[in-house]
Amino acid sequence: MDDEPLKDWADRRDAKIGRLRAVSVVPGDKVAAVRP
């Protein structure tokens, strides 16, 4: 395995997490469902 693809995957994951965080900031029923 190459490190570059792994880095790209990590970057994509970070971007996805950032999106989820942005969504979680917005109040709503979905946020309550997402949080454990």
* pLDDT (0 to 100) of residue 22: 62
pTM over 0.85: no
With beta carbons less than 8 A apart as the criterion, state whether 14 and 24 touch. Answer: no
- Look up residue 12 and give its two tokens: 């994509």
Longest CA–CA separation in the chain, Å: 41
**Digit-coded pLDDT (tens) for 1-36:** 567 788 898 888 888 877 776 665 555 555 555 555
DSSP string spanning 1-36?
--HHHHHHHHHHHHHHHHHHHHHHHS-SHHHHHH--
* pLDDT (0 to 100) of residue 24: 58
